[in-house]
Structure 1
Amino acid sequence: MSSEQFRQYIRTIQKQIAKLQEELARDWSEIAEALDGLQLIHEEMQTSLEAAEVVEQTLLQQNQQIAAAYQYYYDLFQTSPIAYVVTDANGLILEANQAIAQLLKVPQRYLLGKPLAVYVAEGERHDFYTKLSRAKNSGIQVWQMSICPREDTPLAVEFYVSTVRSDAGLIELRIAVSTMSLSRETTQAQHLNQEAIRPETRFRPHLPQSLDGLRVLVVDDEPDVREFITAILEPYGIGVRAVTSAAAALAELEQFHPDVLVSDIRMPGEDGYSLIQQIRAWEALRGRHIPAAAITAYLDEDREKALSAGFEAHLHKLAPPTDLIKMVAQLAGRAAKQESDALN
């Protein structure tokens, strides 16, 4: 090989080396870029993992809160002084609290799975099943029945029945049972001529009777509560206007002219405190006053706060229906007037 050929051979090798170096440089650049991408993915995964841990912790706390709330309301159900049962659409008892067990004089565990009709007076069971079949398509109802506690005489009660339908279409009846005071004459009249006594006046509790014509404005965002309160008040001749919000209540003041206001405290938007402040300002311009009662489903609601805000009375939603009637009568001055009339 001549010197010129050798030099040419060396230059060819050098060019090949240079080309390899360029390719290696390009490959290393791609490798470095890929490594940077992997680093970024790792950081994103780490961030997502940390976010998932936060979500998991939040869900854990929420589950704990839900469990605590469930236990709270379960304990409230069990220890409530109001006799309460939950049945299926056929009247089979699914849940029963201690108060209904005491009322029926039956151990609480024996009530579950039994037909509620077993404890209804035999002569009224047909009426009970008729009402039961109609309840499937109704809201809150008030049934006047007689129940038979174990080894005791029949007892006149009112069933406050709320129908609940689940997403699966299953129906449950939530029934609060309230006893009523009967005079001997009323009891005798019922046995002598039960059909002659109007359904709305049978087994009526001993409450103020001069309530006809009284107008009560009820404010609550829950439809079941509005229907329930209306069902309690109307049988006593009370005119009820039930609305869903503070704004609707203010609009009714000029048209309905209520004698008494009954308002929920915790409502979306404007709450009961805001409503009573606006009503008191409205009254100041017109020289009139509407007695008002605050109602709440929360045991920790501050009664003094409600009274300081401008309400004259405060009542829990789980209070016996007779307490609501008495409170409305007292706020309207009817109870005092009746006692005065009786003394005169």
Structure 2
Amino acid sequence: MRAALTKDATMVVTEVPDPVPQAGQLLIRTLACGICGSDLHALADPDAFMETTRRSGGTPYDPRDGLVFGHEFAGEIVSYGPETQRTLPEGTVVCGPPIGIGPQGAGIIGYTPMYPGGYGEYMILNEGLTHAVPEGLDPKVAAITEPFAVATRAVERSGISEGDVALVLGLGPIGLGTVAALKARGHGPVLAADFSPRRRALAEGLGADAVIDPAAESPFGRWADLGVASSLVERIASQLLGTEVRGAVIYECVGVPGMLQQVIEGAPAGGTIMVVGVCMQPDRLEPGVAVSKELSILSSFGAYPAEYGATLAAIGDGRIDAGSIITGTVGLDGVAQAFTDLADPEVHAKIVVQC
């Protein structure tokens, strides 16, 4: 099959062996696959990518040795491996979480040679993790269920309560997905901050109640106006006086060194920080500030199958307008250039590869 294969610091379109489904697996012809920021980071800094994977308990594979990336995908069923139920007929358009399971072992689709991703013409998926795409939903929109599902999990894990103020920092696809997931739950107020006017406009389209340009004002400057107590003394006073104060949850979707400490400094007392952005470089934190504010610091990574299914349903019935963040499409021959183009947030938010 033709595939965009990683080579050194770029992608090369070439012929690679067709994947062969094993027990419990399906052969899928790829229709669409979103380009994820994780792919850009893995190609740009493979050593940090592999070290993070290794220290997290995974098995790292070096992108420089040749991988078929692509873990945000949709395709159609071509054939079945042995021991499959064949519940979905051939030709059904499907998608699913990027979890490879089978006799070959387990791994994240697109980051292991056993499970080539959606930057190739064919893939193998585990039958038990495969979802039929809702009727009428464009495959390129179904493909980006994955980043929205990651955001759904982050919102669920954050434990946000009704009335809490949500602040989303960084409006790449995961940050935009977090805004969408919050609004799909009917949550408000949701504040969204990013330096990019284009991305702030996308967040408004997904329902953000207010957008903030950090170059013009601090994202952390509205707590008092929104009824959030900034210090522990204020929180204790509110309990003694019987007055009501709001909680706050900050979703850190940037993932660069120094960002988490900025959030610790700017978070209100008693707040929750949900770390969603993946920083693969060493960072420096001051725990004393977090302790003095009694902050809860949580983290979230990929979506579980149930969250993926719930997100796909929300996209299918229109509660989440996932397609609104797609700013371009390319074929396999355009993947390498798309990696470059995605560096400019004013040009693109999400590019989808159509095989």
User: What is the TM-score when the length of structure 2 is the normalising length?
Assistant: 0.31
Higher strand share: 2
Structure number with greater CO (CA < 8 Å, separation at least 6) is 2
Structure exhibiting the larger radius of gyration computed from Cα positions? 1
Higher helix share: 1
